[in-house]
């Protein structure tokens, strides 16, 4: 793998590959009836690590699309990371048993610190902490609620508890094709001293180039969703340029 990794995003809702605008379940576009077919396509085009989000799970508070996730994890030759509704140790263990390489803890990192610290202690680098922020404050429950916890402070606290990887999303940029909030991403990486994967707002190849320039600051890669599906970014070209 290259030092800066591009993560094609597949958001699963109702068994289909969809995209939401700013996490709004009422603003949905279906891009592929088969998330597995989408995953295979991204792998064929050079995808090095696939990012899956169980949108139904994020809303329900527990994983919902296990069957589809298991198919993708078992049939691809590249690693898969999954987020969405992971709030119990049993959920984490089940997804890892399906062949998932890394699970993403989001809402629980705020609402259930004991669980989060236990998972970090038990699974270490198989766990990423997903921090979704709105104006610097952490949002939870599929972005439906905003907490009073600052993103940088949460990252710093969890890094001290063993978190090695963070996935940072600026909700205001997600799905809006406005470019990533590089300053906020670098800030989180510096506050935590850990690897941060950028998410939200990546619109064109130049956005990925700009993020990759901060690899030394701790930005390890970027999740790309809508821009791949609309053709704004060609995955093969991006991997070749940044690989």
Q: Which residues are catalytic?
A: 11, 132
**SS3 category, 235:** helix
Residue-wise DSSP of 158-173: HHHTT--EEEEEEGGG
State phi, psi for 175 to the nearest 5 degrees. Answer: 70, 5
DSSP state of 126: G
Measured CA distances, 24 to 7, 175, 226, 238, 239 (Å): 22, 10, 14, 28, 30
**SS3 category, 94:** helix
Which residues, 6+ apart, have CB-to-CB distance to 59 below 8 Å? 25, 85, 141, 142, 144
Closest CA to 227 of 182, 181, 177, 168: 177
Which residues, 6+ apart, have CB-to-CB distance to 213 below 8 Å? none
Q: What residues are paired with 103 via a beta bridge?
A: 82, 127
Q: Please give the structure tokens belonging to residue 193.
A: 């001293």
């Amino acid at each position: 793998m290259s030092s800066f990794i591009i993560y094609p995003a597949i958001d699963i809702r109702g068994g289909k590959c969809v995209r939401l605008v700013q996490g709004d379940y009422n603003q949905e576009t279906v891009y592929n009836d088969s998330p597995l077919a989408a995953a295979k396509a991204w792998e064929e085009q050079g995808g090095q690590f696939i990012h899956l989000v169980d949108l139904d799970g994020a809303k329900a508070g527990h994983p919902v699309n296990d069957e589809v996730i298991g198919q993708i994890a078992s049939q691809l030759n590249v690693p898969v990371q999954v987020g969405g509704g992971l709030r119990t140790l049993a959920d984490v263990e089940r997804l890892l048993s399906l062949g998932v390489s890394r699970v993403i803890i989001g809402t629980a990192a705020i609402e259930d610190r004991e669980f989060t610290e236990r998972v970090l202690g038990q699974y270490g680098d198989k766990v990423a902490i997903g921090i979704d922020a709105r104006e610097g404050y952490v949002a939870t429950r599929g972005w439906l609620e905003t907490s009073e916890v600052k993103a940088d402070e949460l990252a710093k606290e969890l890094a001290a508890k063993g978190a090695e990887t963070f996935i940072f999303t600026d909700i205001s940029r997600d799905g809006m094709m406005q470019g990533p909030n590089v300053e906020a991403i670098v800030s989180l990486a510096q506050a935590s001293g850990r690897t941060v994967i950028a998410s939200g707002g990546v619109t064109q190849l130049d956005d990925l180039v700009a993020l990759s320039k901060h690899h030394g600051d701790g930005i390890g890669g970027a999740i790309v969703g809508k821009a791949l599906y609309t053709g704004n970014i060609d995955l093969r070209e991006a991997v070749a340029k940044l690989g």
